[in-house]
Chain A
Amino acid sequence: MAVETNQMRKFLNDPANVVKESLAGLAAAHPDLLRYDPAAQIIVRQGAPKRGKVALISGGGSGHEPLHGGFVGLGMLDAACPGEVFTSPVPGQMLAATKAVDGGAGVVHIVKNYTGDVLNFKLAAEDAADEGIKVTAVVIDDDVAVQDSLYTAGRRGVGATVLAEKIAGAAAESGADLAKVTDTVKRVNARARSFGVALSSCVPPASGKAIFELPEGQVELGIGIHGEPGRRRAQLGPASEIVDVMVEAVVSDLKAKKGAKVLAFVNGMGGTPLLELYLLYGEVDKKLRAAGLEPVRNLVGSYITSLEMAGASLTVLELDEELTRLWDAPVHTPALRWGA
């Protein structure tokens, strides 16, 4: 990619207001599903709090849309706490969201494993406990590109976050208690693995500059969702070869039994069209079957993105009867909708 004098071509009024203006637009588009509280900078489900229902909230830096605000609604999240672009939200947002959705049955915080998110959610959970609200937190860490060892911050939370929000949201909607909903998030995280690749960097609106430079003809392997570089670079080969790398990374780490039923989630990073995502899904489906797994459910589209980055991630979730039933349960949010 050539360095351009103007790397940014974005629809903006003032870069400093991009998150707030986008959230106001989300609320204007979906008044039946959610509302925007500009003072607290949170998105809250219409009708919340629902008496006796366990509430789910999540949050993180902005720039990953539709995550998380686009997943607020029936059968998924009760509130979302968007931070500045690629910057975790502050504890006050999570506390305000927790108070806004607590229906007396407790609140589950779904936290992606990034140091900033973990620290800010931790401070918020302490504040909520001080106010007498039962809060549990589950950290999502499904990215196999990061070595999980004493020598790293641990695996990042990526695609499994979307699946956990959907599946645990269905459990909460069906009346499951706090322990059960919390356990459902943990089970999804434990049974899911992800790996992402990028064909381009992305440009945060505040700086107007690409986060990294990817030379022409190269692919960045093992990327996260904040424009951070991956673990290594390789020559860009055919899609089939890239999918080989992704499937091998995910399947070898998941260690599912032969014949296991799985959900395959091919996710776009923001700048890759559906034309290519379905091409990738076709390859993924073939290769998973060749590896002895049976994709019985799938999700294809851009659901956890990195601004306008060209790229894709693969998440594979090993299903069981209960997780499959919860996945199929009705959901009605701005970004995911079926059965309702």
Chain B
Amino acid sequence: MDAATITSWMREIDVAVRAERDHLVQLDAAIGDGDHGTNMVRGFEAVVQALGADDGSPPGKLLVLAGRTLVSTVGGASGPLWGSALRSGGRVLGEQMTFEGNQLVEVLSAALASVKDLGTAAVGDKTMVDALEPAVDTLRSRLHDGVALDQALDAAAAAAEAGMRSTVPLQARKGRASYLGERSVGHQDPGATSTALILRALQKAATKGA
């Protein structure tokens, strides 16, 4: 994998959040304030534009650029959270021009750590961590077991989607949904939903390049 994988990943996210924009807005309107779809579309549109203007940066630098772009365009909670996640992940790769599956695990682990640190959330709080953490764990264990990268990424995306669905019966403990108390139960978390889209986009981007 290389810089083209990162660019392709960001393009896939842009396509996915655009297609699911209204769904994300609906989910957020139910337990938040209804701007999640709009914010993600605005952010990844800007990321694709920023990466398109870049000339030959290594993959790590592209992730840092993507993260910085999200922080400076999205606002809300998802901007700083995904922005910090991609910046931390990008720093793992430094200046190297290519990377392997085990380094992708390190990138995603760093991203997860920064989300948990900034958002002070854990699995079960009904947040994006419910989708991201099982995805990272699954990718790590599948690669450790010798599963091929494309299959491991497919399993990781499926784990994110399962994590996303697992938020439905949960009561939110973080973010704006937590204000609803018990009334947040029965709704799928919008942040976990967009996170599942982002992991599925990664699988598509990496498979395409393989």
A-side interface residues toward B, CB under 8 Å? 61, 83-92, 114-116, 119-120, 122-123, 145-147, 150-153, 156, 204, 206-207, 209, 211-212, 224, 226-229, 231
Q: Are A228 and B173 in contact (CB under 8 A)?
A: no
B208 at the interface (CB under 8 A from A): no
Question: Do A153 and B79 touch (CB < 8 A)?
Answer: no
User: How far is the CB of A89 from the nearest CB of chain B, in Å?
Assistant: 6
Is B94 positioned at the interface, with any CB of A under 8 Å from its CB?
A: no
Q: Which of A147, A150, A226 contacts B176 (CB 8 A)?
A: A226
Q: Which chain B residues border A145 with CB–CB below 8 Å? A: 179
B180 pairs with A116, CB closer than 8 A: no
Provided the pairs A152-B178, A153-B178, A224-B179 are in contact, do residues A90 and B71 lie with their beta carbons within 8 angstroms?
yes
Question: Is there contact, CB below 8 Å, between A91 and B77?
Answer: no
A227–B180 Cα distance when bound, in Å, is 12
Q: Is the CB of A146 within 8 A of B179?
A: yes
Partner of A153, one of B25, B34, B74, B175: B175
Determine if B38 is an interface residue (Cβ-Cβ < 8 Å): yes
B180 contacts A231, CB within 8 Å? Answer: yes
Give the shortest distance, in Å, between B45 (CB) and chain A (any CB): 12
Q: Which 8 A-B pairs have the closest CB atoms?
A: A119-B80, A152-B178, A116-B76, A116-B77, A226-B33, A115-B77, A87-B75, A151-B173
Q: Which residues of A contact B80 (CB under 8 A)?
A: 91, 116, 119-120, 122-123
Q: Once the chains are docked, how many angstroms separate the CA of A85 from the CA of B39?
A: 11
A228's partner among B39, B75, B180 (CB-CB below 8 A) is B180
Contact call B176/A228, Cβ cutoff below 8 A? yes
Contacts of A228 in B (CB 8 A): 32-33, 176, 179-180
Q: Are A90 and B181 in contact (CB under 8 A)?
A: no
**CB distance B176 to A114 under 8 Å?**
yes
A150 and B174 alpha carbons, distance in the complex (Å): 9
Give the complex CA separation of A97 and B79 in angstroms.
19
Chain B residues within 8 Å of A211, by CB: 29, 33-34
B141 at the A interface (CB under 8 A): no
Tell me whether B181 and A87 are in contact (CB under 8 A).
Answer: no
For B39, the chain A residues whose CB sits under 8 A away are 87
